[in-house]
Amino acid sequence: MATLEIKDLHVSVVSEDAPKEILKGVDLTIKAGETHAIMGPNGSGKSTLSYAIAGHPKYTITSGTVTLDGEDVLEMSVDERARAGLFLAMQYPVEVPGVSMSNFLRTAATAVRGEAPNLRHWVKEVKGAMADLDIDPAFAERSVNEGFSGGEKKRHEILQLGLLQPKVAILDETDSGLDVDALRVVSEGVNRFKASGEVGVMLITHYTRILKYIEPDFVHVFANGRIVESGGRELADQLESEGYVKYTGTKEAAALS
Amino acid sequence: MAALSTKPHSHGAVVPVSSRAAHFTSYDVNAFEVPGGREEIWRFTPLKRLAGLHSGAAATGSAVVEVNAAPGVTAETVGRDDSRLGTAGVPGDRVAAQAYTSFVDATVVTLPGDVKSEPTTVTVTGAGEGSVAYGHVQVKASQFAEGTVILDYRGSGAYADNVEILVADGAHLTVIAIHDWADDAVHVSQHHAKLGRDATLRHTVVTLGGNVVRVTPVVQYAGRGGDAELFGLYFADAGQHQEHRPFIDHGQPNCRSNVVYKGALQGEGAHTVWIGDVLIRVAAEGTETFELNRNLILTDGARADSVPNLEIETGEIEGAGHASATGRFDDEQLFYLQARGIPEDQARRLVVRGFFQELIAKIAVPEVRERLEAAIEAELEAVGA
Q: 3-state class of B35 per DSSP?
A: coil
Q: Three-class SS of residue B25?
A: coil
Is A181 inside any structural domain? yes
Of the candidates A78, A90, A99, the beta carbon closest to that of B354 is on A99
Question: Does residue A174 fall inside a structural domain?
Answer: yes
Q: Is A221 on the interface with B (CB under 8 A)?
A: no
Name which of B331, B332, B344 is nearest A79 (Cβ-Cβ).
B344
Looking at the domain assignment, is residue A223 inside a domain? Answer: yes
A143 touches chain B (CB under 8 A): yes
Shortest Cα distance, chain B CAs vs residue A12, angstroms: 18
Instruction: Report the share of chain B in percent with pLDDT over 70.
Output: 95
Residue B12: is its pLDDT beyond 70? no
- What CATH number does the domain containing A63 carry? 3.40.50.300
**How confident is the model over B24-49, as pLDDT tens digits?**
999 999 999 999 999 999 999 999 99
Find the range with the poorest average confidence among A189-203, B2-16, B180-194.
B2-16
CB B274 within 8 A of CB B307: yes
Look up the ipTM and state it: 0.95
Q: Indicate whether A7 belongs to any domain.
A: yes
Q: How many Å apart are CA B372 and CA A219, to the nearest integer?
A: 54
From CA A210, how far away is CA A214, in angstroms rounded?
A: 6
Identify the closest residue of chain A to B332 by CA–CA distance.
A94
Ramachandran angles phi, psi of A163, nearest 5°: -80, -30
pLDDT digits (tens, 9 = 90+) for A12-70: 998 777 889 999 999 999 999 999 999 998 889 999 999 999 999 999 999 999 999 99
Structural domain for A90, as ranges:
3-94+166-248
Does residue B11 carry a pLDDT above 60? no
Query: A250 pLDDT band (50/70/90 cuts)?
Result: low
Inform me whether the C-beta atom of residue B58 falls under 8 Å from chain A C-beta atoms: no
Give me the pLDDT at residue B368, please.
95
Q: Which of residues 41-100 of A touch B (CB under 8 A)?
A: 54-57, 77-79, 81-83, 87-88, 90, 93-99
Assess B373–A contact: CB distance below 8 Å, yes or no. Answer: no
| Contact call for A111 and B340, based on CB within 8 A | yes
Which residue in the set A57, A87, A107 is minimally distant from B346, CB to CB? A107
Summary mean pLDDT of chain A: 94
pLDDT in tens, A109-150: 999 999 999 999 999 999 999 999 999 999 999 999 999 999
Closest partner CB to B335 (pick from A56, A83, A104): A56
Among B331, B343, B351, the residue with its CB nearest the CB of A79 is B343
**pLDDT tens digits, one per residue of B152-186:** 999 999 999 999 999 999 999 999 999 999 999 99
In a domain, A138, yes or no: no
Q: Is residue A176 domain-resident? A: yes
Question: Is A76 domain-assigned?
Answer: yes
In terms of CA atoms, which chain A residue is nearest residue B329?
Answer: A96
Looking at every residue in chain B, the average pLDDT score rounds to 93
**Contact across the interface for B340 and A160, Cβ inside 8 Å:** yes
Whether A239 and A246 have beta carbons less than 8 Å apart is answered as no
Q: Does B354 touch chain A (CB under 8 A)?
A: yes
Q: Across the A/B interface, how many CB contacts are shorter than 8 Å?
A: 81
Q: What is the pTM of this model?
A: 0.85
- Is A164 close to B350, i.e. CB distance below 8 A? no
B118 touches chain A (CB under 8 A): no
Give the gap in angstroms from C-alpha B242 to the nearest C-alpha of chain A. Answer: 24
Q: Is A161 on the interface with B (CB under 8 A)?
A: no
Interchain proximity B335–A112, CB inside 8 Å: no
